[in-house]
Homo-oligomer: A and B are copies of this chain.
Amino acid sequence: MHTVPTLTGDLSPDEFRAAAHAAVDWIAEYLESSGQYPVRSRARPGEVRAALPAAPPEHGEPLGAMLRDFHGTIVPGITHWNHPGFFAYFANSGAYPGILGELLAAGLNANGMLWVTSPAVTELEQVTLDWLRQLMGLGDGWFGEITDTASVSTFYALAAARERTGFDIRGKGMAARSDLPRLRVYCSEHAHSSIDKAVIALGLGHENLVKVATDEQYRLRPEALQAAIEADVAAGYRPIAVVPCVGTTSITSIDPVPEVVRIARRYDCWVHVDAAYAGVAAIVPELRYLLDGVDGADSLVVNPHKWLFTPMDCSVLYTRDPQALKQAFALLPEYLVTRTQDETVNLMDYGIQLGRRFRSLKLWMVMRAYGRDGLAERIRHHCELAREFAGMVHFEGGWELMAPVTLSLVCFRRVPDGADEAAIAELNAAIMERVNARGQVYLSHTKLDGRYTLRLAIGNIRTARAHVALAWSELRAAASSIERRE
């Protein structure tokens, strides 16, 4: 029974072994010596595509041929998120145990759409997410599920909020109903674009996402939220959800979740906390405050594939009301009926996706490999490095900090004497481009109240003090080089 069909291009286990062993060695070497690669790819638009045949292969090729293209064409087209000099956006970095988890998951290729289609996929997901809940210091009563991205987690949360209104939008839809007011969602003006996308996709309408003003530290102002909701209620709108953010993308500001929860409760709003980047930092005892008040919320998204060193993709949606998710999404066609239906969690009931790969394995392996103290130590270290970098910026003439350093992101810029806002923007964009083009480190930018701002986001498991120091020397060198030329 162990015979395999012998068809064109069949690979022997030994061919796989040889290629996969070589890949493992390459990955270990790559991760230890990523300094030799430019962080941001130097490929020009269309270059990778042009280097590959425009037509598919008629016949199978040996693995060696495609591995040569991998090294010669693909790797030069990669921007190296696992590089310790990656400081752009928010880090996604994959720790060794997470890579091992992905390898094993690919070998099993299990699909956890139903409990029975791989009990371990469903149950390890539950165990792992309960561990993570405990590590972050949240109370009991949270149901967790893994999604691919925070955007999808937030979309699900707002779908549940929409359904919990009791208007049977699931059944009847939203159009041409005299009984249905406009439904409104609230977040701060610094909330992530994923909130906008969710509101748009759900058919609520972008204009019904209300962006609430923030304070001088870019935090949602509770009184502005209250006023916005009250004005909307008076105008006949129905507020359905508020999405405070713990760690906004531009500046990692932290909205006041306890106050938001208090206000939202008064208006029967779902509270979804977007802590995609920063939530896992609550593992660090002195950062536990980040999730203060979250136990009073309805849902929470955190992304282990960001600051918990788990390879892409792994976002976690927690909710206190899994029934609302099921009410929004569950459907049971006959071809998916199983005998264990009623006694088990079937993850297909909590979202759009039916197929579900074994994502918890890598997260479980990362959590076990480092433990609570190892994870906390890494996150704490990143925050220390950010404070050190901010100190260097602060004490150097001609540079300024643009926002408080709440966690591991530093917002800053070069400000030559007498330069106006347009000149400052142009100069900083040029500094960033020069630094990024040199390839030692990679930064991104944002705008704060219209002011161009550089972002140094620390979060890669391989980033050490020396890489941050290098970023600073690269930035200073770029600035003086550009300013000298002018």
Interface contact B21-A21, CB-CB below 8 Å: yes
Verify A110–B335 contact, CB threshold 8 A: no
Inter-chain contact A202/B205, CB cutoff 8 Å: no
A residues 173-191 in Cβ contact with B at 8 Å: 173-177, 180-183
A319 to B191, CA, bound (A): 31
Chain B residues positioned under 8 Å from A204 (CB to CB):
173-175, 203
> Per-residue 0/1 for A62-104: is the Cβ within 8 Å of any B Cβ (1 yes, 0 no)?
0101100010011111111110100011001111111110111
Q: Does A60 contact B (CB under 8 A)?
A: yes
A171's partner among B80, B207, B466 (CB-CB below 8 A) is: B207
Copies in the complex: 2
Contacts of A121 in B (CB 8 A): 77-78
Known interface pairs A1-B35, A1-B466, A365-B66; A312-B104 also in contact (CB < 8 Å): no
Given contacts A11-B369, A123-B77, A202-B201, contact A104 B23 (CB under 8 A): yes
A41 at the interface (CB under 8 A from B): yes
Is A422 an interface position by the 8 A CB rule?
A: no
**Cross-interface CB contact of A355 among B14, B183, B312, cutoff 8 Å:** B312
Complex Cα–Cα for A70 and B11 (A): 26
Q: Which of B60, B118, B333, B444 contacts A193 (CB 8 A)?
A: B333
Contact B203 A162 (CB under 8 A): yes
On whether A119 and B79 interact (CB within 8 A), knowing A23-B100, A311-B109, A368-B65, the answer reads yes
Contact A2/B74 with A49-B123, A312-B111, A455-B335 known, Cβ cut-off 8 Å: no
Kindly list chain B residues whose C-beta atoms are within 8 Å of the C-beta of A234: none
* A134 & B182 in contact (Cβ 8 Å cutoff): no
| Shortest CB distance A15–B (Å) | 7
Specify which of A24, A183, A462, A467 lies most central, judged by the most chain B CB atoms within 10 Å of its CB: A24
Q: Which of A218-226, A254-262, A291-299, A372-380 is near enough to bind chain B? A: A372-380
A75 vs B121: C-alpha distance in the bound complex, in angstroms? 10
* A174-B172 CB under 8 A given contacts A202-B203, A377-B8: no
Tell me how far the C-beta of A232 lies from the nearest C-beta in chain B, rounded to whole angstroms.
13
Query: Contacts A41-B119, A107-B26, A331-B197: A205 and B77 contacting too (C-beta < 8 A)?
Result: no
On chain B, the residues within 8 Å of A105 by CB distance are: 102
- A290 CB to closest chain B CB (Å) equals 18
Smallest CB–CB gap between A310 and chain B, Å? 9
What is the CB-to-nearest-CB distance from A41 to chain B, in angstroms, rounded to a whole number? 5
Q: Are B82 and A107 in contact (CB under 8 A)?
A: yes
How far is it, in angstroms, between the C-alpha of A217 and the C-alpha of B184 when the chains are bound?
46
- Interface check A343, CB cutoff 8 A: yes
Confirm or deny: A329 has a beta carbon within 8 angstroms of a beta carbon on chain B.
yes
- Chain B, residue nearest A41 (CB): B119
Check B206 against A79 for contact (C-beta < 8 Å).
Answer: no
Q: Which residue of B lies closest to A82 (CB)?
A: B109
Decide yes or no whether A381 CB sits under 8 A from chain B.
yes
**Quick one: which of B5, B52, B80, B373 contacts A59, CB cutoff 8 A?**
B373
User: Could you show 29 A-B contacts with beta carbons less than 8 Å apart?
Assistant: A1-B466, A16-B24, A17-B28, A20-B24, A20-B103, A21-B21, A21-B24, A27-B107, A30-B107, A43-B119, A47-B119, A48-B120, A49-B126, A52-B124, A74-B361, A77-B120, A77-B124, A78-B121, A81-B109, A103-B106, A109-B311, A152-B352, A170-B206, A171-B207, A172-B207, A176-B180, A193-B354, A250-B335, A313-B357
Q: A4-B464, A173-B208 are in contact. List 17 more A-B contacts (CB 8 A).
A: A16-B99, A21-B24, A41-B116, A41-B119, A45-B344, A47-B123, A56-B134, A57-B371, A66-B369, A99-B106, A99-B109, A152-B352, A170-B200, A197-B329, A200-B328, A201-B352, A315-B355
